[in-house]
Amino acid sequence: MKTAFITGASSGIGKATARALSREGINLILCGRREERLIELKKELSKRVAVYTLCFDVSKKEEVFEKINSLPEKFSEIDILINNAGNAHGLDPIQDGNIEDWDTMLDINVKGLLYVSKAIFPKMINQGAGHIINIGSTAGKEVYPNGNVYCASKYAVDALNQAMRLDLNKHGIKVGAVNPGLTQTEFSEVRFKGDTEKAKGVYEDFTPLRPEDIADIIRFVVTRPYHVNIADLVVMPTAQANSVTVNKD
Ligand code: 8X3
């Protein structure tokens, strides 16, 4: 039985992925900042697989290493790491950008992904196998107006995805990225700091991706035979052609 470690598992793509992988009989380590949500999800998925919850903030360096190093024996081997935790804060021209927002995005999307990966690399290297899936974004493939630092953080994820694949190659570890376009989650609510009307508008008048659509793709990626590595995927709703072209009704 395999074990997957999922960051940002309390909502959106992370939560949907946990559900999808549980249906494949994959044991789960669910990570997030919101403990009650993790516990609720654990209750639901424990009917199918073994589930462990780990409550921490990926951007808190010490906490990341402390929590991952304290995993019980049963969950100490990690076969699959899904670096999903990530957020956008603000959508302003770069000259008007808020420095705290920049710090938060770089701390979570880039440094947080690095801390978690660094804590898990030794386990996978010891095992001589493993699979890392980095959740990037179409924002990491194409810069759009006002996307600036969020796009930079996702370009960094793209670079790190390639870097991990190169440097971990000799250890037999698979590395690949899934880069979603417009996906209806709490993403825009966080980006617009709780302005639900503005957030709703982002996904109005077309059919966006649902977290389950991306989860299904991740399920496919992790269930390929060992010699098959899906290195990089860009996934958009049919109505979306690029970051700024969306066919709205
Ligand atoms: C999410 C895609 O276009 O909303 O990362 O930035 S987008």
pLDDT of residue 109: 98
Ligand 1 nearest-atom number relative to CA 150: 6
Q: pLDDT category, 241, cuts 50, 70, 90?
A: very high
Ligand 1 nearest-atom number relative to CA 137: 5
Q: Which two tokens stand for residue 159?
A: 């670079």
Q: What is the pLDDT of residues 165-197, one digit of tens each?
A: 999 999 999 999 999 999 999 999 999 999 999
Q: pLDDT category, 160, cuts 50, 70, 90?
A: very high
Average pLDDT on 95-122 reads: 98
Q: pLDDT category, 227, cuts 50, 70, 90?
A: very high
pLDDT of residue 30: 98
Residue 182 beta carbon below 6 angstroms from any ligand 1 atom: yes
> What average pLDDT is seen over the chain?
97
The set of catalytic residues is 150
Average pLDDT on 20-34 reads: 98
pLDDT of residue 10: 96
Residue 137 beta carbon below 6 angstroms from any ligand 1 atom: yes
Average pLDDT on 127-138 reads: 98
* 170 φ, ψ (degrees, to nearest 5): -70, -10
pTM above 0.95, yes or no: yes
DSSP calls for 179-212: EE-SB-SSHHHHHTTT-HHHHHHHTTTS-PBPHH
Residue 139 beta carbon below 6 angstroms from any ligand 1 atom: yes
Q: What is the pLDDT of residues 210-224, one digit of tens each?
A: 999 999 999 999 999
Say what percent of the chain tops pLDDT 70: 100
**Mutate-to-test residue for ligand 1 from 182, 188, 203, 206, highest number of ligand atoms within 8 A of CB:** 182
Determine whether domain 3-235 maps to CATH 3.40.50.720. Answer: yes
Ligand 1 nearest-atom number relative to CA 202: 4
pLDDT of residue 239: 98
Q: What is the pLDDT of residues 60-79, one digit of tens each?
A: 999 999 999 999 999 999 99
Residue of minimum CA distance from atom 4 in ligand 1? 182
pLDDT of residue 15: 98
Residue of minimum CA distance from atom 2 in ligand 1? 181
- What is the 18 CA–ligand 1 centroid distance (Å)? 21
- Kindly give, in sequence order, each residue whose CB lies less than 8 Å from that of residue 223, ignoring residues fewer than 6 positions away: 24
Residue 209 beta carbon below 6 angstroms from any ligand 1 atom: no
Q: What CA–CA distance (Å, rounded) separates 154 from 163?
A: 14
- Kindly give, in sequence order, each residue whose CB lies less than 8 Å from that of residue 159, ignoring residues fewer than 6 positions away: none
Residue 188 beta carbon below 6 angstroms from any ligand 1 atom: no
